[in-house]
Amino acid sequence: MEKIHVNTVIASSLSHVWDCFTNPMHVTGWNFASSEWYCPTAKNDLVIGGRFSYRMASIDGCMGFDFEGTFTEIQPVSLLQYRLDDDRMVDVLFEERPEGVLVSEAFDAELINSIDMQKAGWQAILDNFKAYCEKK
């Protein structure tokens, strides 16, 4: 399976970035790719073997899906690894840099949408995450 990579640098503290990424109260504020979508609910059990479920829905109510998986590795404030319910793996790295926190995601591509579309969608969500962290 091909891996896709996206990243951003966030001008904030490592602990704040980690909290915004892992706390369901924050996830609902940034976990969508465009203003036509939102994340009405987010739940996670942040332990190895714990589950997460983030509801993604269109603002007009016509479309929606659950983004779900299981945490396979957790190194607080540095690494999250999880397996999506379709068996794809995702690694999220958090690294302190002089200019801020580098957040890097690597995920297995799925077979339905093009690589470019997948990369653009995940990057848009990560860009929303950056904006959310920097204004909170």
State pTM to two decimals.
0.94
CA distances from 36 to 11, 61, 100, 125 (A): 26, 10, 29, 12
105 neighbors 91 (Cβ within 8 angstroms): yes
Tokens of 99: 């200019």
Percent residues over pLDDT 90 in the chain: 99
- C-beta contacts of 44-52 below 8 A and 24+ residues apart: 44/71, 45/71, 46/22, 46/71, 46/74, 47/71, 47/74, 48/72, 48/73, 48/74, 52/82
Tokens of 65: 């899906």
Percent residues over pLDDT 70 in the chain: 100
pLDDT tens figures, 94-115: 999 999 999 999 999 999 999 9
CATH code of 3-33+73-135, in short, is 3.30.530.20
Classify strands 100-108 and 3-10 as parallel, antiparallel or unpaired.
antiparallel
pLDDT tens figures, 15-45: 999 999 999 999 999 999 999 999 999 999 9
pLDDT of 83 above 90: yes
